[in-house]
Amino acid sequence: MNESLTQKIRKDFDRIALHDQEGWDHNNHYHRFLLKQLPARCGTVLDIGCGTGEFSRLIAQRAKRAIAIDLSSNMVEVAKQRSSQYANIDFQVGDILQWEFPVEQFDAIVSIATFHHLPVESLLPHLKSALKPGGRLAILDLLEYESWQDSLSDLIAVPLNWGFQMLKNRHIKSSPEAAAAMREHLRTDRYLTLSQARRIYSKSMKGASIRKHLFWRYSVVWEKS
């Protein structure tokens, strides 16, 4: 990733963090699914792109230690404020592409809606090396449709999205500033298709489970032998 794009992503999420309101979204809809993919007992878990720390806090309830990294200092500041009761979360501001991965130190590595910002093929070897034998990698990311068959899932996703928004986010008042910040960020986002994800992850991680989900998401789960 070039430096100018990294700076833009950092700036976008610094701005988005200022308007964040806790509520239901397409990512935390799959938190329960992701937790089920983690080992029953975790020593140390790495959360890449932790944002405001919502999933990091869930990890901290079952792991001895969570290391949560995000590019945005504002996101990490919000995460720290909301996680003051969790002494076992180590929030760090940093670029994961510049991070020095320890060898075989993590029982699990997780990431939500972050990998489309990263050069996945060059990052995966570092993640594999950093996992302990038996460690799990669990990724949830956004998906680009590649055929008209893919769009058929919208027949379910769109009304479900509307229903969940009405049911779960009634307490949230829409913010023009938040909407504008997200629109600006999404303008430059690019996602993998399911075929591309299967090719990339299967090539690097034999036996990886790659699944398509509702709400324009896919998941990758892999266990290191």
Tens digit of each residue's pLDDT (9 = 90 or more) over 77-133 = 999 999 999 999 999 999 999 999 999 999 999 999 999 999 999 999 999 999 999
- The answer to whether residue 2 scores a pLDDT higher than 90 is no
Distance between CA atoms of 225 and 220, rounded to whole angstroms?
Answer: 16
Distance between CA atoms of 224 and 212, rounded to whole angstroms?
Answer: 22
Number of helices (H), then strands (E), in the chain: 9, 8
Tens digit of each residue's pLDDT (9 = 90 or more) over 57-67 = 999 999 999 99
- Cross-strand bridge partners of residue 218: 141, 212
Which of residues 56 and 186 earns the better pLDDT score? 56
Q: Which helix (H) or strand (E) holds 2?
A: none
Count of CB atoms within 10 A of residue 217's CB? Answer: 21
Tens digit of each residue's pLDDT (9 = 90 or more) over 146-196 = 888 778 888 889 899 999 898 889 887 777 887 888 888 888 899 999 999
Average of pLDDT values for 25-53? 96
Its pTM stands at: 0.94
In 3D space, the residue among 122, 78, 74 whose CA is nearest the CA of residue 96 turns out to be 122
Query: Per the structure block, which two tokens stand in for 80?
Result: 């720290």
DSSP string, 140-185: EEEEE--SHHHHTTHHHHHHHHHHHHHHH-TTPPP-HHHHHHHHHH
pLDDT of residue 1: 65
